[in-house]
């Protein structure tokens, strides 16, 4: 307990420099702007910023990425409230009551509630991050190759199950991601697979250019598909949150914060599920059920608290298991590996300080979104008037040059382009992107764990099914898959 506080204090001391504060505030603003612009997601923001922070010191680079991530999830609420268009999928639930409040002339008040909910959600998530990471780290020390194989599989399957309208297509996207991760030399014999004699593919597909393509380029193609009508914005009232709202909805805040964090911990689920689940739970428990969907402050508070609490939650399995809880967390994990940080079961043994560094980074992000939420409201409203005809080519230049900068080779730009076109085609055909990303990121772990497990058991597959944790994960997976085959209905309310 006290050791944790000392480490946390040391982290705050380390980051309390003018340079870090400026990076944190700048990155939070970039995140909020990216999140506010419909069509550009947190995953894209983190992927793009990963390429821009390659040459920075690891601590500063990760500070920028964490602040971008938190800022983008928060920023999505701006367009949800003012335009009824979720800036990111995570803000889809906020449209229901946020836009209704704006139509009642209370857009500023709704944004204040969104800011309060996001700040409280992130703080609750940070608390659980500090609490659970050491505990989960201890449990993870008992995991072997068999358990990691099932965890990686579980992450991809559950992501496919929950992140789109159609689980079958989600699983296919996940399997495709896992397959793409096998391209290049395999780890045991350095045998080249599916490289077709291309030297550049021998080392495998570069993860960051692939992610920049699948999220950056593909999203640009999606937003440019149609010309958008001119933006009409509601008038703003006061954005200053009221303390009595905080007190009145304290139970909703705590409940949504807990739900958001726990959904974040589940590998591959993500912020949009956290927001919807928190919203549904708030509606069930509310005495003002009839107001939900018609401008319920409680509904908006629940959705915003839930999605932002999911961010620290999604980082817990990254730190302890090297399994991301969401698509942006997957990109963040890739960035950690690039910067030489090795998350995983040993993190509390080898570098416990890093866990508290991440919590401090989140604290800086919270301060950033609080400032922007209260002070820069009118600027952020103007951001929504930004012309995509101008933004898109600039972002594409960053996608291209960022992909090139990683290894100074044009081949990575082509990888970005290929994944952009692939991601665009899959989106058009209603395949979710999150499982593809999870597959790409977890493919290596899945393959290594499977082959290591088989070598350890001399080809015997029974340990995969008989060890207690493996058996539990396997049974859970079978149940999830079977439940989809037995009751196969599209979810109608996920307008993401």
Partner 1 sequence: MRSDAAQGVAWALGGGLIVYASWAMDRLERHGAALYTAPGLVPGLLGLVLVVLGVALALRKRGISACSPAIRWGNTPLVLALCLGYAIGLIGRMPFWLATFVFVTAFIAIFEYPSRRRMALAPLYGAATSLAVSNLFEAVFLVRLP
**How many Å apart are CA 245 and CA 265, to the nearest integer?**
28
* Angle (nearest 5°) at CA 417 between 415 and 418: 65
3-state DSSP assignment of residue 56: coil
Find tokens 């194989």 and name the residue. 149
> Which secondary-structure segment (H or E) carries 185?
strand 184-185
CB of 33 to partner 1, least distance (A): 16
CB of 332 to partner 1, least distance (A): 20
From the list 145, 174, 146, the residue with the least C-alpha distance to 158 is 174
Question: SS3 helix, strand, coil % of the chain, rounded to 5?
Answer: 75, 0, 25
From the list 308, 310, 303, the residue with the least C-alpha distance to 282 is 303
Of residues 56 and 469, the one with the C-beta less far from partner 1 = 56
Binding residue (CB under 8 A) for partner 1 from 408, 462, 468, 487:
408
Residues in CB range of 407: below 8 A, 6 or more apart: 206
Of residues 55 and 284, the one with the C-beta less far from partner 1 = 55
Residues in the chain: 496
Stretch that binds partner 1, among 31-39, 94-102, 270-278, 427-435 (CB under 8 A): 427-435
Structure tokens at 372: 């922007």
3-state DSSP assignment of residue 292: coil
Binding residue (CB under 8 A) for partner 1 from 10, 12, 14, 54:
54
Structure tokens at 336: 């950690």
If one asks whether residue 168 binds partner 1 (CB under 8 A), the answer comes out as yes
> Which secondary-structure segment (H or E) carries 359?
helix 352-375
Of residues 129 and 400, the one with the C-beta less far from partner 1 = 400
Please count the other Cβ atoms lying within 10 Å of the Cβ belonging to residue 390: 8
If one asks whether residue 421 binds partner 1 (CB under 8 A), the answer comes out as yes
Binding residue (CB under 8 A) for partner 1 from 131, 138, 203, 225:
225
Which residues make beta-bridge pairs with 184? 193
If one asks whether residue 430 binds partner 1 (CB under 8 A), the answer comes out as yes
If one asks whether residue 404 binds partner 1 (CB under 8 A), the answer comes out as yes
Of residues 300 and 416, the one with the C-beta less far from partner 1 = 416
Question: Mind giving me the DSSP string for 396-445?
Answer: HHHHHHHHHHHHT-HHHHHHHHHHHHHHHHHHHTT--SHHHHHHHHHHHH
Which stretches of 206-324 are assigned E, i.e. beta strand?
A: none
Binding residue (CB under 8 A) for partner 1 from 4, 84, 134, 166:
166
Site string for partner 1, 459-488 (x = CB under 8 A): x----------------------------x
Site size toward partner 1 (CB under 8 A) is 61
Structure tokens at 266: 């589940």
Stretch that binds partner 1, among 9-17, 38-46, 121-129, 176-184 (CB under 8 A): 176-184
Stretch that binds partner 1, among 57-65, 235-243, 334-342, 404-412 (CB under 8 A): 404-412
Stretch that binds partner 1, among 62-70, 203-211, 213-221, 255-263 (CB under 8 A): 213-221
If one asks whether residue 247 binds partner 1 (CB under 8 A), the answer comes out as no
Of residues 177 and 306, the one with the C-beta less far from partner 1 = 177
If one asks whether residue 105 binds partner 1 (CB under 8 A), the answer comes out as no
If one asks whether residue 214 binds partner 1 (CB under 8 A), the answer comes out as no
CB of 425 to partner 1, least distance (A): 9
CB of 278 to partner 1, least distance (A): 28
Asked if residues 53 and 30 have their Cβ atoms less than 8 Å apart, the reply is: no
**How many Å apart are CA 403 and CA 52, to the nearest integer?**
9
If one asks whether residue 417 binds partner 1 (CB under 8 A), the answer comes out as yes
Asked if residues 302 and 77 have their Cβ atoms less than 8 Å apart, the reply is: no
**How many Å apart are CA 4 and CA 13, to the nearest integer?**
14
The burial class, CB within 10 Å (0-12 / 13-18 / 19+), for 148 is buried
Binding residue (CB under 8 A) for partner 1 from 18, 197, 199, 227:
227
If one asks whether residue 456 binds partner 1 (CB under 8 A), the answer comes out as no
Binding residue (CB under 8 A) for partner 1 from 1, 18, 287, 429:
429
CB of 318 to partner 1, least distance (A): 23
Binding residue (CB under 8 A) for partner 1 from 193, 250, 342, 378:
193
Binding residue (CB under 8 A) for partner 1 from 231, 240, 392, 480:
392
Of residues 127 and 411, the one with the C-beta less far from partner 1 = 411
CB of 410 to partner 1, least distance (A): 6
From the list 70, 485, 13, 29, the residue with the least C-alpha distance to 309 is 70
Binding residue (CB under 8 A) for partner 1 from 281, 291, 405, 471:
405
- 199-222: buried (b, 16+ CB within 10 Å) or exposed (e) per residue? ebbeebbbbbbbbbbbbbbbbbbe
**How many Å apart are CA 233 and CA 333, to the nearest integer?**
37
Binding residue (CB under 8 A) for partner 1 from 138, 382, 389, 466:
389
Of residues 188 and 479, the one with the C-beta less far from partner 1 = 188
If one asks whether residue 226 binds partner 1 (CB under 8 A), the answer comes out as yes
Positions touching partner 1 (CB under 8 A) are 52, 54-55, 165-166, 168-169, 171-172, 175-176, 178-179, 182, 186, 188-189, 191, 193-194, 217, 220-221, 224-227, 387, 389-390, 392-394, 396-398, 400-401, 404-405, 408, 410, 413-414, 416-417, 420-421, 424, 428-430, 446-447, 450-451, 454-455, 459, 488, 490
């Amino acid at each position: 307990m006290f050791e944790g506080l000392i480490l946390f204090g040391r982290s705050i001391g380390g980051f309390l420099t003018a340079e870090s504060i400026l990076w944190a505030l700048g990155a939070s603003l970039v995140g909020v702007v990216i999140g506010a612009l419909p069509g550009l997601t947190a995953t894209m923001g983190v992927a793009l910023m990963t390429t821009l922070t390659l040459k920075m010191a690891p601590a500063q680079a990760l500070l920028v990425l964490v602040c971008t991530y938190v800022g983008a999830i928060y920023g999505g609420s701006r367009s949800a409230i003012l335009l009824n268009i979720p800036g990111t999928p995570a803000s889809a639930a906020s449209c229901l009551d946020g836009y209704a409040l704006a139509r009642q002339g209370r857009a500023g008040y709704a944004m204040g509630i969104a800011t309060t909910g996001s700040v409280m959600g992130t703080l609750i998530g940070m608390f659980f991050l500090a609490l659970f990471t050491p505990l989960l780290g201890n449990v993870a020390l008992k995991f072997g190759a068999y358990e990691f194989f099932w965890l990686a599989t579980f992450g991809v399957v559950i992501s496919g199950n929950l992140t789109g309208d159609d689980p079958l297509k989600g699983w296919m996207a996940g399997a495709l991601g896992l397959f793409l991760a096998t391209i290049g030399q395999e780890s045991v014999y350095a045998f080249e697979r599916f490289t077709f004699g291309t030297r550049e593919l021998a080392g495998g597909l570069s993860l960051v250019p692939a992610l920049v393509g699948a999220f950056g380029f593909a999203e640009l193609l999606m937003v440019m598909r149609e010309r958008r009508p001119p933006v009409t914005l509601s008038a703003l009232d006061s954005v200053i949150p009221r303390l009595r709202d905080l007190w009145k909805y304290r139970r909703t805040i705590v409940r949504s914060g807990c739900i958001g964090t726990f959904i974040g911990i589940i590998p591959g689920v993500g912020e949009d599920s956290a927001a919807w689940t928190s919203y549904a739970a708030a509606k069930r428990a509310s005495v003002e059920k009839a107001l939900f969907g018609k401008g319920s402050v409680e509904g908006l508070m629940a959705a915003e608290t839930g999605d932002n609490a999911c961010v620290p939650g999604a980082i817990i399995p990254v730190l302890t298991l090297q399994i991301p809880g969401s698509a942006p967390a997957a990109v963040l994990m890739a960035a950690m590996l690039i910067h030489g940080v090795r998350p995983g079961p040993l993190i509390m043994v080898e570098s416990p300080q890093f866990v508290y560094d991440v919590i401090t980074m989140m604290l800086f992000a919270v301060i950033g979104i609080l400032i922007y939420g209260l002070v820069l409201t009118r600027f952020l409203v103007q951001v929504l008037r930004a012309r995509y005809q101008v933004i898109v080519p600039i972002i594409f230049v960053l996608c291209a040059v960022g992909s090139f900068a990683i290894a100074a080779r044009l081949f990575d730009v082509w990888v970005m382009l290929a994944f952009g076109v692939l991601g665009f085609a899959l989106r058009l055909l209603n395949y979710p992107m999150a499982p593809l990303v999870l597959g790409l990121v977890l493919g290596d772990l899945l393959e290594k764990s499977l082959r290591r497990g088989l070598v350890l058991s001399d080809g015997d597959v029974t340990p995969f099914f008989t060890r207690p944790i493996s058996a539990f994960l396997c049974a859970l997976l079978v149940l999830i898959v079977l439940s989809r085959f037995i009751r196969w209905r599209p979810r109608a309310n996920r307008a993401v």
